[in-house]
Amino acid sequence: MNTQSIRPHPDISLHQLRIFTAVAQATTLTEAAKQLGIAQPSLSQQLSRLETLVGARLFNRRPGEMELTEAGHYLLPKAEHVLRGMRDLEDGLMEYTSGRRMTIRLAGITSVLRVLLPPALRRLQEIFPDIDFDIQDMAPSDILELLYDRRIAVGLLADNSLSASGGGFAQIPLLTDSHVLAVPGHLDLSRVERPERDLPADQLAILNQSIQFAFGSQHTKRVQNWYERLFPGHTIVAQCRSFEVAAELVRAGAGVCLVPALSLLHGAETLKGIRLYAVNAATRRIMALIPTQYQHIEPYRTFLDTLKDAAHTIVLPQISPIPPFLDNGPQAQF
């Protein structure tokens, strides 16, 4: 037998195998996406990449139905075996961490890492002095992919990045956070019912200049829809990937920005020259995602407790009531 002709597929990831098995076991792509806690377009894209890597179609696609092909039937038990093996490996290695130096690998969104992690990390190191951390600041979609591939053990993000199921991870609520409209300090919206009538031309121009975030997610699209509904004449003057940069642009009078209140907790100087107004939107829940087998094992159990303790000490910035012209329509979901 010519072993040179047998080539492994080193680019196949655990994440893709989990997606494949979820689709194979679910009745629809929508159901599989909910089980995994990812958007359906992302699921379809990863499935297509896997088929490209394998070099064969794994499913016959029909309206409302996904049927395994011969190649899919071949792959399914092997994928399940790999995933079972990975779970056994993780569980087994946990038994060897007691009394030895251990690295907690985690990823999170910037605002959560900056506000919650420092006090939680300090407290955990007092209890477990032999622990160190590998910390990555990432977008929610990247955090989820690292979790699925088991390259991190803890993800810190908001619930608007997830489906209801959470993809098989334990979801540990930490705190709630509100979206607010950040405007330059001289822009008083407290009595504004019709901006085009109640504001001077220069202030109206600033109000209609939006600073938005380009994270490439459904959340970004929902925020864009919010601007279009409530500021129909607005112009996007900047797209950012950092809440801190957006705050500086607002302070300089470049425009207004819809941001999570938590992202603006960065010392007393952060809010100088900026006003924050409530908006008619549902709060987002900040949570830790962790494989279910880890949540009751040390040091992860204590780490989750220190995160909860840190969350209880958070005091969000002062937020003014919703301006009259924004207090209309159904509550937005971000």
Q: pLDDT for 264-302, tens place per residue?
A: 886 555 678 899 999 998 888 999 999 888 888 889 999
CA pair distance 281, 112, nearest whole angstrom: 20
Show the tokens assigned to 86. Answer: 């990975």
pLDDT reported for residue 270: 64
Is the per-residue pLDDT at 102 higher than 50?
Answer: yes
pLDDT reported for residue 217: 59
**3-class secondary structure for 174-231?**
EEEECEEEEEECCCCCCCCCCHHHHCCHHHHHHHCEEEEECCCCHHHHHHHHHHHHHC
Is the per-residue pLDDT at 250 higher than 70?
Answer: yes
**Length in residues, the chain:** 334
Name residue 114's amino acid.
Answer: R
Find the range with the poorest average confidence among 148-152, 167-171, 274-278, 317-321: 167-171
Find the range with the poorest average confidence among 155-169, 181-195, 311-325: 155-169
pLDDT reported for residue 4: 43
Find the range with the poorest average confidence among 34-48, 54-68, 78-92, 246-260: 78-92
Is the per-residue pLDDT at 197 higher than 50?
Answer: yes
127 φ/ψ angles, rounded to the nearest 5 degrees: -85, -40
The closest alpha carbon to 175, from 119, 226, 234, belongs to 119
Give 252's pLDDT tier (boundaries 50, 70, 90): very high
The closest alpha carbon to 291, from 123, 111, 167, 208, belongs to 167
Average pLDDT of the residues in 20-43: 80
Could you tell me if 274 and 257 are in contact, meaning their C-beta atoms sit under 8 angstroms apart? no
Is the per-residue pLDDT at 164 higher than 60?
Answer: no
Cα dist from 331 to 40, 45, 283, 317, 334, whole Å: 24, 31, 10, 22, 10
pLDDT reported for residue 163: 55
* DSSP 8-state secondary structure symbol assigned to residue 269: G
Q: Which residue has the higher pLDDT, 37 or 208?
A: 208
Give 205's pLDDT tier (boundaries 50, 70, 90): very high
Instruction: Please give the share of the chain, as a percent, with pLDDT higher than 90.
Output: 36
**Maximum mean pLDDT: which of 146-160, 178-192, 282-296:** 178-192
CA pair distance 326, 320, nearest whole angstrom: 12
pLDDT reported for residue 165: 43
Average pLDDT of the residues in 93-115: 76
Show the tokens assigned to 219. Answer: 């959340």
Could you tell me if 263 and 110 are in contact, meaning their C-beta atoms sit under 8 angstroms apart? yes
pLDDT reported for residue 330: 65
Average pLDDT of the residues in 186-209: 95
pLDDT reported for residue 327: 85
* DSSP 8-state secondary structure symbol assigned to residue 316: P
Give the chain's mean pLDDT.
84
What torsion do the CA atoms of 242, 247, 252, 253 make, to the nearest 10 degrees? 110
CA pair distance 255, 212, nearest whole angstrom: 10
Instruction: Please give the share of the chain, as a percent, with pLDDT higher than 70.
Output: 85
Q: Can you say whether the dihedral through the CA atoms of 307, 313, 318, 324 is positive or negative?
A: positive
The burial class, CB within 10 Å (0-12 / 13-18 / 19+), for 214 is exposed
CA pair distance 183, 326, nearest whole angstrom: 14
Could you tell me if 73 and 80 are in contact, meaning their C-beta atoms sit under 8 angstroms apart? no
158 φ/ψ angles, rounded to the nearest 5 degrees: -100, 155
Q: Would you say the pTM of this structure is higher than 0.75?
A: no
Summarize pLDDT for 122-134 with one digit per residue, the tens: 999 999 988 889 9
